[in-house]
Amino acid sequence: MTQPAAATAKLVPHLWYAREAEEAARFYASVFPNSSVDRITVLPIDTPSGPAGSVSVVEFTVLGHPLMAISAGPHHEFNDAISLLVNCDTQEEIDRYWNAILDNGGKPQACGWIIDKYGLRWQITPRVLGEMIADKDRAKAKRATQEMMKQVKLDIAKLQAAYDGR
């Protein structure tokens, strides 16, 4: 029997959902390529989070990276202290992921951040932005960073124009 990647990887982010871990994992798998729900395990015993059968562990993959989640009742809500950053190569890719999260109950924030309907924070970011901000020409880096700070969903063309001084 082949084990899910989450069972064999050394480091696996683990997310706690009050009750919708499986639903969230299925949504992420529908949005991002190279993604899947790999295994759902219902705990067969009573736990502090609920009786036998009420807590489930979901192993899934997003963009080729293993994750785990648990549906185990209210605990701590997600916050900005953790987010999943998705490096995008094109504006079309940014738009596709951003709009999928937004259209499924997401809440736009700023600078490429969006909160999905489950409360998880995502950064939908053009890969080139990291290079712009790290540029040794600090004037270019500053212009790109200032433009990023004005945006909600990131726009590569506007970031590039600012970076180039246009």
Domains of the chain and CATH, by start: 5-71 (3.30.720.100), 83-164 (3.10.180.10)
pLDDT for the residue numbered 46: 82
pLDDT for the residue numbered 1: 62
Tell me the percentage of the chain whose pLDDT exceeds 90. Answer: 81
Which tens digits make up the pLDDT trace of 64-77? 999 999 999 888 89
Contact 163, 143 (CB under 8 A): yes
Whole-number mean pLDDT of the chain? 94
Residue type at position 131: E
CA 119: distance to chain centroid? 10
Helix 156-164 × helix 138-150 angle, to 10°: 150
pLDDT for the residue numbered 114: 98
Which tens digits make up the pLDDT trace of 153-163? 999 999 999 99
Of 21-25, 41-45, 61-65, the poorest mean pLDDT is in 41-45
pLDDT for the residue numbered 53: 83
Strands (E), 56-154: 56-62, 65-71, 83-88, 107-108, 113-115, 121-126
